[in-house]
Amino acid sequence: MDALDASPGSDDVAVLVPAAGQGRRLGGTPKQFRRLGERPLLLQVLLLFEHHPAVGHAVVAAPSGQVDEVAARLRGQGLSALTAVVEGGASRQASVRHALRAVPNAVEVVLVHDAARPFVSAAQVQSVVQAVRDEGAASLAVPVADTLREGANGELGETVPRDNLYRMQTPQGARRAWLETAHRYAATERVSATDDVALIRRIGHDVQWVRGHRRNFKITTPEDWALAQRLWPTWQDDPDRLRLAETDSSPSA
């Protein structure tokens, strides 16, 4: 269970971080630029990939009109894996498509990770990369544990079977050629999706499930931000954050 070191990442793996959202549900300063601990959220996310031995490149999609400013801030932090900062699009899907164009030619495996998920571990990243190498496409996901029930007009209806239902997380990853084809198809056919798994499946490829963790939540609401602020001091010092192999095999511990 080796901890991360400062060794260069693999030159054939890149991570795309769409960070062009305005965070309207959270309000105020866009969440990716708010400070979590001692650094902005976006930088905290990038630092894990910066030192991960499986990742050699990072491409950030920034808000329109802020590309130069964001690039200067990030490069000022000495991020050697930062390959490019590009202008994002009107949607997450468009931002990923823009970021794909800046991926170096040597890259064969592309990950996509939300800028608002700071609690992903090195081992989870490693598992997704390996699953992509083995199967072609993969994503972190957590089996649904809660009872699901339909509802309408303020009333509860029938229970929805939760067997084989998953809450999707990131990183999601795929062979570069698959992801590029998926986004070209989506742009041509005007297909819209909330994640890259949907787009990859749309062109006929299966996506491997990689066990995620409920801790790897996406910061979306004020309640999420408050929880992240409480968890971060402990998480940043947690050795499990940097280990390249999981120590807990439970589905969502």
Q: Is residue 7 part of a domain?
A: no
Which amino acid type is present at position 18? P
The pLDDT, as a whole number, for residue 129 is: 98
Q: Residue 5 domain-assigned?
A: no
- CA distances 152 to 149, 155, 161, Å, are 10, 5, 18
Given a contact cutoff of 8 angstroms between Cβ atoms, the answer to whether 199 and 182 are in contact is yes
Q: Return the CATH number at 131.
A: 3.90.550.10
**In the numeric block, which tokens belong to residue 207?**
């996506």
Q: What is the pLDDT of residue 250?
A: 46
> Which distant-in-sequence residues (6+ apart) come within 8 Å of 188 by Cβ?
none
79: which strand partners? none
Cβ-contact 169, 140 below 8 angstroms: yes
Query: Using the 8-state DSSP alphabet, how is residue 53 labeled?
Result: T
pLDDT score of 25: 67
37 CB contacts (<8 Å, ≥6 apart)?
44, 232, 233, 236
Residues 6+ apart with CB under 8 A from 119: 213, 215, 216, 217, 228, 231, 235
Whole-angstrom CA distances from 32 to 46, 111, 116, 124 are 11, 18, 6, 21
Q: Is residue 77 a part of any domain in this protein?
A: yes
Alpha helices in the chain (DSSP H): 41-50, 67-75, 92-100, 122-135, 176-189, 196-202, 222-235
Taking phi first (over 0 means left), then psi (-120 to 50 degrees means alpha), and beta for anything else, what does residue 152 get? Answer: beta
> Considering the domain boundaries, does residue 1 fall inside one?
no
**Residue 6 in domain:** no
Each of the 253 residues of the chain gets a pLDDT tens digit; together they read 234 544 457 899 999 999 998 766 676 788 999 999 999 999 999 999 999 999 999 999 999 999 999 999 999 999 999 999 999 999 999 999 999 999 999 999 999 999 999 999 999 999 999 999 999 999 999 999 999 999 999 999 999 988 889 999 999 999 999 999 999 999 999 999 999 999 999 999 999 999 999 999 999 999 999 999 999 999 999 998 989 987 654 444 4
Decide if 4 is inside a domain: no
Residues paired with 138 in a beta bridge: 173, 208
3-state DSSP: the chain helix, strand, coil percent, rounded to 5? 35, 25, 45
User: 3-class DSSP state for residue 236?
Assistant: coil
Q: Quick one: pLDDT at residue 101?
A: 97
pLDDT at 30: 85
Range of the domain at 187: 13-241
Give residue 23's pLDDT: 64
**Number of domains composing the chain:** 1
Q: Give pLDDT, residue 228.
A: 97
How far is it, in rounded angstroms, from Cα 61 to Cα 17?
6
Judge whether 246 lies within some domain.
no
Is the separation of the CB atoms in 176 and 183 below 8 Å? no
Q: Is residue 17 assigned to a domain?
A: yes
- Per-residue model confidence (pLDDT) at position 29: 81
